[in-house]
Chains A and B, each alone.
Chain A
Amino acid sequence: MKFTIDRYQKILIFIIAAYCAFVGFVNPAFFSITTVFDIIRTSSTSLIFAIGLLVVMISGGIDVSFMAIALFGSYTTINIMIAYGIDNLAFAVGLSIIFGAVLGLINASLINWLKLPPFIITLGTQNLFHGIMTTFVSDKSFGAGVLPPCLNQFGRATLFQIQTGSGTIGLSASILPVVFVALATWGLINFTMIGRGIVAVGNDEESARRIGFSPARIRYYVYVWSGILAGLTGIVYVAQINALYPNKLIGGELPIVAAVVIGGAKITGGDGKVFGAILGVLLIYLLNSTLILIGLSSSWNDLFIGSVLVASIATSSYQERIRNRKNLIFTD
């Protein structure tokens, strides 16, 4: 399997390019390296979330607890670090990932055990995880002063810097985990038997079972992977905003779901591309960060995202209908 850009992704790229051209036409200030670096930095956490969610959606599931997992992982980890005076980025990432993996394991176990729709289960665990955290860990906020300095260092770190008219601007180091996660997930889906099992289960659980995949085991892989990515994202997020709150992130799940769907993943499972999910997130962030440049208030944001989501779903459903008609299935 070579890396290919399918027709749907080409449409997304075209929309992004056309929109950029439009914004640049209205406001030439848009065409600057600052914009690019800015979008990369602000979208990095959403990108990792989206890639984690994508894997879940390919397997035919859904996860709305990833924000709670990210918060639980990072908040608990950093609380421990503050309490014991630990200042080590690797420790932060490692521990948060472990928390993420365990919570993902709980998600998968509940889904396998109760045989209920993943949406209901993860909606429940979203509240459960957050509740456990605020009840048993802490519900205090921490400002920049008390956080381990390594976090802020990472949050401000740049890979390289470019001199521009208005000062220097650097490419955020947050892109490193994104690139790593994207490549790892792409490889997982396309080149490992587990990955193909995920696709198979998402397509048809019974058929997957017939050829020897265990859907229950596949679900463990999927939700643990999603949990690991959420744990990682939690740390990246805290590093970027340089503060720790017990109630951030939660509630931001649906825009990520929207981004993944806009990126071409099937809500019914079995199909979805990492590159597509990345395009979906970028499109949303592009709209997010450029409205002001074309002179619209941020209240237009939801309107645009809503329109893009509806349009993208309409496109794929229209394509499906054309195909059905070829096979003599009339649904209209």
Chain B
Amino acid sequence: MRNLLTWISFGLCSVAVFALACNKQKDVVTEPIVFKAPDGWPATVYDFNANPITNAGFALGKKLFYDGKLSKDGNFPCGSCHQQFAAFSNYDHDFSHGFNNQFTTRNAPALNNLAWQSAFHRDGGISNLDLQPLAPITAPNEMAETIPHVLAKLAADPDYPALFKAAFADGAINTANMTKALSQFMLMLVSADAKYDQVKAGTASFDVNEAAGYALFQSKGCTNCHAEPLFTNNAYVNDNLPVDPVRNDVGRMAITGDAADYGKFKVPSLRNVAFSFPYMHDGRFGSLSEVMSHYAQTISLNAGEQDLLIAFLQTLTDSSLTKNPLFSPDVDVPQVHIHN
């Protein structure tokens, strides 16, 4: 009898262990996802207190980021124009494709280090990261949806209600929680481990071309706008690019209504710039060489110097961002299981 009981309990335990093993995703205790500002960087702008990052919130944000449900016809998730392998820009597209064979009106920017940015869009029209997703979701030429309809689709989905419950205390599927989750995913897209960063940390060294390029980058005044370590000063600058008559994009002036802002666009970060071609607000330059030729009109830069600068810019490529499985649409986010 005693033996039988032992066997039964052993059997039950095995089933339990087996069940645990099958349910690995849910029960394995993993490291929490933590936002860490690199040492020596400026203070972040985003209000993390109002939206603390959790594994569940990040996981929800990642699912939303890659979910076509956020677009009218299901074809245009955030991730369609912000592709990880292209450093979260749109690979080889001057303009991106949106709903019903339409083009966007500006080049999709590479996403990184968003916690340090106080304004979004090429014209800085969006004043908070949480507000950013509302623009592409509702733009008729992008995702072409309405917020109430997106929320209704999420509420009717078999998975999302539980994910919202796990991510937020009130569990509500509402605008604020949806955008906060998206922010949690986007905030984690930190790029701070490029070769440049490793050189700064003393764990790698530039080759002779990269070192010469870096010296030029500083001496030619590139850092006036592309200030280290973020490689942007987040200012708005008129880059002397002729205004395209079809688009007639007045840039920052559309937001401020101030004629002094005509043709000004936000200085983009140069991090992962080798991956984020084509360049400028309208993607008019297909290569870094073309960008260099443009700047050579106002800055003294001979062909050799241009090549050296490009060699340096390539050290800003960060595979910890572009190849990190944590940000990949195909990899599940580990969940932290809290035992009460």
Partners in one complex: no
A interface residues with partner B (beta carbon < 8 Å) = none
